[in-house]
Amino acid sequence: MNFKNNEEDYVKTIFSLSEAFEVANENQISRDLNVSMATVSEYLNKLERKKLIRKDGRDITLTREGYTMAIPVIKKHRISEVFAVKMLEVPWEYSHSAVMDIEHTIEDKYFDNFIRNLGNPLKCPHGNSIYNTSKTDDIKALLADNGKYRISRIVYEDTEMLKKMADLGMYPDTIVEVMHGDVVILSNNNGELKLPSIMSRTIRLGNILPA
């Protein structure tokens, strides 16, 4: 990982994990950034000294300063995903991992042009808001009653899970049926997807919109 990008990648990752799971921990950060636990621990101490994060036992959250730093990074990341899908024809399920470098290299002064030329998208390909308006009325798959829903967004963009969803054509704004058994199951005409409990919190559903 490029040293210059470290801080941006850490706050972005903690932001994403907090959005999906309320808090982040060192394990998840180490896995998402693909760096060792020792490196993560050391780096988090640095971020804590800079007052960008707060640690409470194993729980890690962004401070207001950390959050303020994360917002533009997240915005660039999500716009870059739109670019990857629209202009580079990167398959949907790989768009999250495909943009890890471009998102850091766009100069701010050209960023508005980048957004405009992509047609002013409001959401990333996984349904997450580019402008972080954070007002969402979606419901966790875990908490949805059995029935039909529209997929609203996939908050935790895990490539393995996205690949399974793509295989079944389960994208944002497609319709799925929720069934609760030992685990939460999403189904459509293409088949069934059993959600590990952690993922059932991060796949968010909305009501089927009237035509």
Residue numbers at the binding site for Zn ion (CB under 5 A): 81, 96, 124, 126, 157
Nearer to Zn ion, 45 or 120 (CB): 120
Which class for 137: exposed (0-12), middle (13-18), buried (19 or more C-beta within 10 A)? exposed
Residue closest to Zn ion when measured from CB atoms: 124
Rounded CA separation 211/197 (Å): 32
- Element containing residue 104 per DSSP (H, E): helix 102-105
Q: Residue 51 CA to chain centroid, in angstroms?
A: 24
Query: Do 7 and 66 contact (CB within 8 A), yes or no?
Result: no
At closest approach, how far in Å is the CB of 179 from Zn ion? 26
Nearer to Zn ion, 141 or 185 (CB): 141
At closest approach, how far in Å is the CB of 10 from Zn ion? 15
Nearer to Zn ion, 40 or 124 (CB): 124
At closest approach, how far in Å is the CB of 150 from Zn ion? 17
At closest approach, how far in Å is the CB of 94 from Zn ion? 11
Nearer to Zn ion, 185 or 199 (CB): 199
Rounded CA separation 203/155 (Å): 6
Structure tokens at 34: 């693909």
